[in-house]
A and B are shown apart, each in its own frame.
Chain A
Amino acid sequence: MAKPILVIAIAVALAGGTAYYLTRSAEPEATASSNGSVAGKSSIGPGHTRGPADAPLTLLEFGDYQCPSCRAYHPIVAEVLKRYPDKVRLEFHHYPLIQIHAHAMTASMAVEAAGEQGKYWEMNDLVFELQPEWSQSQNPETEFLAMASRLGLDQNKFMQSMRSLELQDRVLKDVVAAREGNIEAVPTFFLNGKPIQPRLSIDDFVRIIETELQAQGAGEPAK
């Protein structure tokens, strides 16, 4: 009776150790593959920023508007900006994974089109908020047009911008930069150019940000 229990205990411990090792060893690999140089790629566009231009920390995000995990991270990133209004600036870049998210490119174009009328972040928030509805739609453009109307945008201008090659080029520049940086998952975050893998929790973001602030000597605990 004792022998099988011993074998089971050893096997469970071995499986636990192996899984833990794989979890740990995957991190440097992911770091290496999406190395910090992506932030400095010549092909990368300027992105859209939220927060003060002179903030000591820039949180760069490669995201996809149709990706459920990007949506899950969205309120956490917003909370980070709320907690560190002077210290963190968000820089968002598009990485629509069109192979699995059929409407992701259209969504990026819709947010860029709203940006042309000065409502980039309002549209960004709305597109994430209403993701479950438009992502199931056969014709998401109608949904985006309704959102534009809700934000008080000029609908004709909005539709023209949705077809703009210049805006499409802006999105594609981000896609090229993401591919050059071997980014494998969305969302992917960089803090001051360094890749980070925060968990889906505000506490983990705070931990990473506090560590970086302390390293910079600008550490002052968040409220």
Chain B
Amino acid sequence: MNVRGIALALLSFTGMIDSLYLSLKRDAGPIPCHITKGCNDVLTSAYSELAGIPISWFGFLFYIAVFSCAIFALFGSIGLLRWLLWPVVAAFVISIGLVGIQAFVLNAYCEYCLGSAVIVTAIFVLVIRSPKTVANTV
């Protein structure tokens, strides 16, 4: 069993739940924070949407893509993981930007968004460490 492939699948599965929860909860009224302060501020800010679509939905699609590649890789189609490199790099950069917006523009933090940033960072580390190795050893 390839640990890295399984780790990618588990991380992206958790990310799917997190982003989907945010997408559904965002449309269902004020969102309370339990650890941080300001979930509602973050999730209703101008930065929470892209072309009118909540960015959590884009996150959900990203996690589906990572999960799909990880599963195909675990079943032997290892080449697919190579496709992940640039989307993962892009997601990592976007995550840094979104955390920066929370810290320096909104002065409010959303624990679910921070959780997603941690997941993206872990995926980034797994993929960037050696994208070829990831592909070749799964």
A contacts, CB < 8 Å to B: 3-4, 7-8, 11-12, 15-16, 18-20, 22-23, 26-27, 30, 33, 67-69, 72, 97, 99-102, 184-188, 197-200, 204
Name B37's closest neighbour in chain A (CB-CB).
Answer: A100
Say whether A19 contacts B38, CB under 8 Å.
no
Say whether A4 contacts B71, CB under 8 Å.
yes
**Complex Cα gap A18–B16 (Å):** 10
**A187 CB contacts on chain B under 8 angstroms:** 30
Question: Known pairs A15-B13, A67-B41, A68-B45. 6 more at Cβ < 8 A?
Answer: A11-B9, A19-B21, A69-B30, A69-B40, A101-B107, A185-B31
**Complex Cα gap A201–B107 (Å):** 26
Say whether A3 contacts B29, CB under 8 Å.
no
**A200 CB contacts on chain B under 8 angstroms:** 29, 44
With most chain B CB atoms within 10 A of its CB, the pick from A3, A7, A68, A198 is: A68
Residue among A7, A8, A12, A198 making CB contact with B29, cutoff 8 Å: A198
Residue among A3, A8, A69 making CB contact with B41, cutoff 8 Å: A69
Residue among A19, A97, A99, A184 making CB contact with B17, cutoff 8 Å: A19
A-B contact pairs, 18 of them (CB 8 A): A4-B74, A8-B64, A11-B13, A11-B16, A12-B67, A16-B20, A18-B17, A19-B20, A19-B21, A23-B25, A26-B32, A69-B41, A69-B44, A72-B44, A97-B38, A100-B38, A197-B29, A200-B44
Residue among A7, A23, A186 making CB contact with B71, cutoff 8 Å: A7
Residues B20-74 near A (CB distance < 8 A): 20-21, 23-25, 27-34, 37-41, 43-45, 64, 67-68, 71-72, 74
Say whether B24 contacts A20, CB under 8 Å.
yes
Tally of contacts, chain A with chain B, CB under 8 A: 91
Say whether A99 contacts B37, CB under 8 Å.
yes
**Complex Cα gap A199–B40 (Å):** 12
**B71 CB contacts on chain A under 8 angstroms:** 4, 7-8, 11
Say whether B67 contacts A197, CB under 8 Å.
no
Say whether B25 contacts A100, CB under 8 Å.
no
Chain B, interface SS category: helix
Say whether B67 contacts A8, CB under 8 Å.
yes
Give 4 nearest A-B pairs by CB, closest first.
A197-B29, A184-B32, A19-B20, A15-B16
Residue among A8, A33, A188 making CB contact with B30, cutoff 8 Å: A188
**B130 CB contacts on chain A under 8 angstroms:** none
B contacts, CB < 8 Å to A: 9, 13, 16-17, 20-21, 23-25, 27-34, 37-41, 43-45, 64, 67-68, 71-72, 74-75, 77, 106-108
Q: Given A4-B72, A4-B77, A7-B71, decide whether A185 and B25 contact each other with a Cβ distance below 8 A.
A: no
**B25 CB contacts on chain A under 8 angstroms:** 23, 26
**B77 CB contacts on chain A under 8 angstroms:** 4
Say whether B28 contacts A199, CB under 8 Å.
yes
Say whether B30 contacts A15, CB under 8 Å.
no
A219 shortest CB reach to chain B, Å: 23
**Complex Cα gap A3–B76 (Å):** 11
Say whether B30 contacts A186, CB under 8 Å.
yes
Name A7's closest neighbour in chain B (CB-CB).
Answer: B71
Name A33's closest neighbour in chain B (CB-CB).
Answer: B32
**Complex Cα gap A187–B41 (Å):** 10
B108 shortest CB reach to chain A, Å: 5
